[in-house]
A and B are shown apart, each in its own frame.
Chain A
Amino acid sequence: MSEWLASYENVVALVLLNGILGIAAYLMLIVNRFSLATGGLMAIGAYVSVLATMNFGVPFALTLVLGGVTAAVMALLLGAPVLRIEGDYFALATLAFTEIVRIIALNWESVTGGALGIVGIPTETQIWQLALALAALTAAVFAVHRSAAGRVLAAIRGDEMAAAAIGIDVARARLLTFVASGAICGVAGAFAGHLNFFIGPSDFGMIRSIDAIVYAVFGGLGGVLGPVVGALVYTVLPEMLRFSAQAREILLSLVIILAVLFMPRGLISLNLPLRRWLPRRRGQRGKLAAGQGVAAE
């Protein structure tokens, strides 16, 4: 077991980290917003926490909080004006945000080390910490889904105008969700920053944002386990395709295309034994109306 863990430690850490990011993206998707801010918010969490460690010797646990809070505040500042923007515009505005963060990280050399990044970071992040964080987050989102607040989110997803007509402040609910998602991205960034010896601007670009959405959509938006399963498969699959390093990218993209075409509700829609532990999509409990794999706009 320990031997196995050692040889695959990096993959396991990535699966857990990506699961956390997948949930951050999932939260925005279930309120009908395609956020490409994940990478930028994660970068903010990573740089803030790493700089706190390197320059001020702040304890690791505290840098996690610091990363999460800074990213959440950033999400609040970004979200307040930008969330008013309709669907596609919102996606593009958050894309611009992530790119601006990357460009600042690239050019503010005195602080971020520029393109060379920051090296010699103490590797504090442990697998068990990531596992604990992911488990806690999954449980928290699961609990939210079953609460009154979760029903508010599901109502927004179900029909925004009807939600407003029964007195739900759609803009406020969405902003709070974005702030929560930002905090998660920030903590994930802090973990990622202390995972290896190094961070650089290219670690947190657009690709991070897009991958996070892929985990969620690929896994399925039917419940919080969707993004986790999506992150697992999407992270492990390239490792499994190692036998043909050359064709790996090609195979991987073909798998995604086929998955999108044939499993429009995500991996979760496959009839796996796992499904018994997932929230019902329809029927008696129906509460988790987020269960409709694909949301209406």
Chain B
Amino acid sequence: MSVFLQQTVNGLSLGSAYAVFAVGFTLLFGVLNVLNLAQGAVFMVGAFTGLELVRLVELPLPLAFLVAMVTAGAVSVLTQVAVFGPLERRGGHRWMGLIASLAVARLLVAIAQEVFGTQVLRYPSEPWMEASWTIAGVQIQGLQLIVLATALLVMAALAVLLRATQTGRAIRTMAFNPNVARLVGVPVQRMTLLTYFIAGALAGAAGVQLGVLYNAVSPFMGETILLKGLTVLILGGLGHVPGAALAGLLLGLTEVYSVGYLSSSFRDAVGFGLVFIILLVRPHGLFGLTTRQRA
């Protein structure tokens, strides 16, 4: 039983970081109908920014976390302004957008390799990270608590923004229908940039969280999280933000359980297995319409 509880704690902290990343990824898909495969690279940028601020500038981690979010958000906006925006204005096909986002990811990874090398770097250890408490046979690390808390904080802030503000209403209107949004006077261009910023900032936050949690930062760390993001995107129902948050937690838990009860090597297979089953059972996703209804 205590093994189960232990794994639940581990799974929740891991899953909450997945959820933060996936919520941003899902937001882009839901609001702008963009499948941005550069999101994993933006996550990596966030992880490196946080790391360098802590290591070189010796900023306290919470501050570094915020700056990393802003930086990752800014990089995300930059990709929109420089690549995705112009491509959309030229009427590029959706597939072109996918290719462009892959190229952007590759570019960011290449730059990171150039600047930081290919070695795995680590966040310097701090006393509170090492701290741990044992409650009823379950060991809870300070680190895990912090990751879980920041994740909840970030997602709560997003929920407030989306649900309780004018800006949030505007973004949700765009998700509903961009033409309607334009008609009712939503500043579509500005909201697009804001959505990219939020998605980037969430990716950056997850980057620092997982960088600290795994104690490993490398230029290639974005690839794995991108696959997780895609998994969660489907599990949560394409474009459904609360669904993504839940599915992120669920994925973290299933991964940890499968390592605990099956074998560590099948951790990644579990997520994809779930995706596969969901797609087969609900071939149009959880909220999809069929072509035959679109005539």
Contacts and interface: CB of A to CB of B under 8 A. Distances in A.
B92 A257 contact: no
B233 A92 contact: yes
Interface string A74-102: 00000001101111110111011101100
Most chain-A CB neighbours within 10 Å: which of B95, B104, B109? B95
B87 interface: yes
A96 B83 contact: no
B99 A96 contact: no
Contacts of B231: 96
A13 to B, nearest CB: 23
B107 A85 contact: no
B280 A82 contact: yes
Given A260-B92, A260-B103, A264-B96, A250 B273 contact: no
Which of under 10, 10 to 19, 20 to 34, or 35 or more describes the interface residues of B? 35 or more
A97 B110 CA distance: 27
Nearest to B226: A206
Contacts of B111: 250
Interface string A231-242: 000000000000
Given A103-B265, A260-B92, A260-B103, A249 B113 contact: yes
A106 interface: yes
B96 A294 contact: yes
Nearest to A161: B295
Nearest to A294: B93
Interface in A36-92: 81-82, 84-89, 91-92
A297 interface: yes
Nearest to B83: A257
Contact of B106 (A103, A218, A252): A252
A141 to B, nearest CB: 19
A56 B227 CA distance: 37
Contacts of A271: none
A214 B98 CA distance: 10
Given A84-B283, A161-B291, A249-B110, A92 B103 contact: no
**Is chain B's binding surface mostly helix, strand, loop or mixed?**
helix
Interface in B252-295: 263, 265-266, 268-269, 272-273, 275-276, 279-280, 283-285, 288, 290-291, 295
Contact of A85 (B95, B233, B284): B284
B104 A253 contact: yes
Contacts, number: 129
A253 B99 contact: no
B94 interface: yes
Contacts of B202: none
Given A88-B238, A103-B265, A214 B99 contact: yes
A5 interface: no
A89 B279 contact: yes
Nearest to A165: B295
A84 B292 CA distance: 12
B83 A213 contact: no
Contacts of A213: 95, 98-99
A253 B103 contact: yes
A264 B87 CA distance: 9
A99 B268 CA distance: 8
B77 interface: no
Nearest to A260: B100
Nearest to B79: A257
Given A247-B114, A260-B87, A103 B268 contact: yes
A60 B8 CA distance: 51
B283 A89 contact: yes
Given A160-B291, A297-B94, A82 B279 contact: yes
Interface string A250-282: 101110110011001000000000000000000
A127 interface: no
Interface in A97-147: 97, 99-100, 103-104, 106-107
A168 interface: no
A250 B107 contact: yes
Contact of A249 (B90, B109, B234, B268): B109
Given A86-B283, A247-B114, 11 more contacts: A82-B280, A89-B284, A92-B234, A99-B268, A99-B269, A103-B272, A161-B295, A213-B98, A214-B102, A253-B110, A295-B93
Interface of A: 29, 34, 81-82, 84-89, 91-93, 95-97, 99-100, 103-104, 106-107, 160-161, 206, 210, 213-214, 217-218, 246-247, 249-250, 252-254, 256-257, 260-261, 264, 294-295, 297
Top 10 nearest A-B pairs (CB, nearest first) are A249-B110, A253-B107, A256-B103, A96-B272, A253-B106, A294-B93, A107-B265, A103-B269, A250-B110, A96-B275
